[in-house]
Structure 1
Amino acid sequence: MTSPARRRSYGVKGAPYAHPSPTTALKGALRAPYFFLLPATILFTLFFALPIGYAVWLSFRKVHVSGLGLGSGARKEVWAGLENYTDALTDSEFFGSALRVLGYGCIVVPMMLGLALLFALMLDSDKVRFAPFSRLAIFLPYSIPGVVAALMWGFLYVPDVSPFFYVLDKLGLPQPDLLDGGPLYLALSNIAVWGGTGFNMIVIYTSLRAIPAEVYEAAKLDGATPLQIALKIKIPMVAPSLVLTFFFSIIATLQVFNEPTTLKPLTNSINTSWSPLMKVYHDAFGRNDAYSAAAEATLIALATLVLSFGFLRAANRRNRQEETG
């Protein structure tokens, strides 16, 4: 009888099978995560990192035209340095688009987050009825593409086809022009708020459901009213979710493009450079100047990074002060 210490494993056709050593098995286990990450890394590099790098490279280039620009070699790409960035920062249209988006964001962000927090607190109440249906109804607009939502609301904004203006006309009430002047900001903001409130509500509502029930029971035993529980317990405990939704809202506001572009054929108040991204699109495909458009896109990305990083840093500093205080 063969002892266990001298037993050997045999593979196909009786050939001895060599077991991997512990060192080889350990190396394989350490390399396995990198093999799983490899497909995502390749996709990230091809479709995210390389396009960003190419856009930054284009922002430092320009086309030099010799003579009339006719013939071979008359137009060639040369190094421009910071010229495209200087032109973008001194461009009145680009600066004006940034100011318009700033005003647009001052309306959208507070209103959207305020409604999302209000709906989340209402759905988290014990007295709410038809909670599943209400959550679905509030979240449903977020699932509608932005272009479709803008087309739908544009139909409701045009007096000749809107059923609301028909009712106002029959009642003898004034019919405001929502696509001209100051009301245009409210019309565009309404589309963003209608579509984005549901997503932010779900994020905040999920955080509310994660709060232990013992916290509420202790507050009720201390005589706290539902309003006091909401203001002094629920809202402070979902502050990280509010920071996250505010962060996402800033990014979405700076990148507004679908709504004004879709409503542009319906009004003369929206030009090709109403928002920074519309200016980038017009320069790249309308003026065929991809170099200036790349510089403007890079500036938008830097502004988004600076604002987001500054807000997150301020929020983290405040949280540390509250923890230590």
Structure 2
Amino acid sequence: MSSTALKARQWRGWLFVAPFIVVFALVFLAPIGYAFGLSLFRDQAFFGGTTFVGADNYTQVLADPKFWESFRRVLVFLAVQVPIMLVLALIAALAIDSARLHAAGFFRVVIFLPYAVPAVVAALMWGFIYGDHFGLAADLNHLLGRDVVKPLSDNWMLASIGNVVTWEFVGYNMLIFYSALKVIPGELFEAAAIDGAGAFRTVFSIKLPALRGAIVIATIFSIIGSFQLFNEPNIMRTLVPNVIGTFYTPNMYAYNLSFGGQQYNYSATVAIVMGVITAIIAYVVQLRGTRREL
């Protein structure tokens, strides 16, 4: 093939990928670049306009107690809620995949259905259930004659939000695990049956090892989702503003700094710092999961 024909062929390839490159640059690279540019400036309170401050905003974020309080909160949320959600999703996928569960298709749809509910609607629905004066919790307390169930209290608020998120995303992760189970070669199960392996031995020796990649993917998605926690606490804040503050999560902190306090530069800095932290943690989890798989 001549050099002219080779160059023409390469240009055709670039033409095919050009639409993706343009869209990727506009919706991904450009916003990140713009946010990073904002983070290098600071508003001048008395003189107006902005001034270049370099890394001063990043230094301020790293010393900001509100940021670290919100970060520790979502870290606790991640450490508790994500394992519970993934274990429930794994149990559901294994149960549906087994031949012993009747109406498996029905249960698969029912478990997945909450994921189809918009996050705003789910938060509103559970907020009414949690209500101290008008919801199911209030009815239970009235029945018991005392305030026993208080999901919107300061001590239970994070767990209540975790319950909402778990309800929403168990079905999504169940579908990831179930899809991975369906591609396991049938020869492995036949060999296990010949060797006399029971149901539990098959699960631990065949199914769980085959699910390792899917578990890593679901874990990474869940980590990213935990650090992006916003809809549920932001909507429930209208019910308990004294419990859920403006910096309850890092995303809420960045949102309220920008739209409530007009501090766009500092808000962009908080968003970039959280993005870097999330990317690092997700990469470490992926790296460890890949090494174990190899």
TM range (shorter): over 0.9
Does residue 42 of structure 1 match 2:22? yes
TM-align CA RMSD: 1.8
Deviation, 1:183, is 1.2
Counterpart of 2:171 in structure 1 is 198
The answer on whether the counterparts of 2:123 and 2:231 sit within 8 Å (CA) in structure 1 is yes
Larger displacement relative to structure 2 (306-315 or 32-41): 32-41
* Whole-angstrom CA distance in 2 between matches of 1:40 and 1:118: 38
The answer on whether the counterparts of 2:112 and 2:175 sit within 8 Å (CA) in structure 1 is yes
Deviation, 1:89, is 1.0
Query: Which of 212, 221, 227 does residue 248 from structure 1 map onto?
Result: 221
Which ranges of structure 2 fall in alignment gaps of 5 or more residues? none
Counterpart of 2:276 in structure 1 is 302
Does residue 315 of structure 1 match 2:264? no
The answer on whether the counterparts of 1:169 and 1:175 sit within 8 Å (CA) in structure 2 is no
Matches within 5 A, 1:1-325: 28-65=8-45, 69=46, 74-163=47-136, 165-170=138-143, 172=145, 175-267=148-240, 268-320=242-294
Runs of 4+ with deviation above 6 angstroms: 21-25
Residue identity in the other structure for 1:244:
I
* Whole-angstrom CA distance in 2 between matches of 1:25 and 1:79: 50
* Whole-angstrom CA distance in 1 between matches of 2:273 and 2:185: 44
Instruction: Assess, with a 3 A threshold, how the Cα gap between structure 1 residues 209 and 36 changes in structure 2: closer, same or farther.
Output: same
The answer on whether the counterparts of 2:128 and 2:134 sit within 8 Å (CA) in structure 1 is yes
CA offset digits 1:122-168 (Å, max 9, x no partner): 01101111111111111111111111100000000003222354245
Deviation, 1:277, is 0.6
The answer on whether the counterparts of 2:141 and 2:149 sit within 8 Å (CA) in structure 1 is no
Deviation, 1:82, is 1.2
* Whole-angstrom CA distance in 1 between matches of 2:209 and 2:221: 19
Which ranges of structure 1 fall in alignment gaps of 5 or more residues? 1-20, 321-325
* Whole-angstrom CA distance in 1 between matches of 2:245 and 2:259: 15
* Whole-angstrom CA distance in 2 between matches of 1:261 and 1:161: 20
Residue identity in the other structure for 1:253:
S
What TM-score, normalized by structure 2, do the two folds share? 0.94
CA offset digits 1:302-321 (Å, max 9, x no partner): 1011101111112222233x
- The secondary structure found in structure 1 opposite 2:151 is coil
* Whole-angstrom CA distance in 2 between matches of 1:164 and 1:223: 50
Instruction: Assess, with a 3 A threshold, how the Cα gap between structure 1 residues 296 and 164 changes in structure 2: closer, same or farther.
Output: closer
* Whole-angstrom CA distance in 1 between matches of 2:81 and 2:136: 25
Aligned length: 293
Larger Rg: 1
* Whole-angstrom CA distance in 1 between matches of 2:131 and 2:44: 46
Residue identity in the other structure for 1:47:
V
Deviation, 1:172, is 4.7
Instruction: Assess, with a 3 A threshold, how the Cα gap between structure 1 residues 174 and 290 changes in structure 2: closer, same or farther.
Output: closer
Residue identity in the other structure for 2:199:
P
- The secondary structure found in structure 2 opposite 1:75 is coil
Instruction: Assess, with a 3 A threshold, how the Cα gap between structure 1 residues 317 and 163 changes in structure 2: closer, same or farther.
Output: closer
* Whole-angstrom CA distance in 1 between matches of 2:162 and 2:209: 27
Deviation, 1:250, is 0.3
* Whole-angstrom CA distance in 2 between matches of 1:312 and 1:167: 44
* Whole-angstrom CA distance in 2 between matches of 1:85 and 1:312: 27
* Whole-angstrom CA distance in 2 between matches of 1:164 and 1:60: 47
* Whole-angstrom CA distance in 2 between matches of 1:101 and 1:176: 23
Larger displacement relative to structure 2 (149-158 or 178-187): 178-187
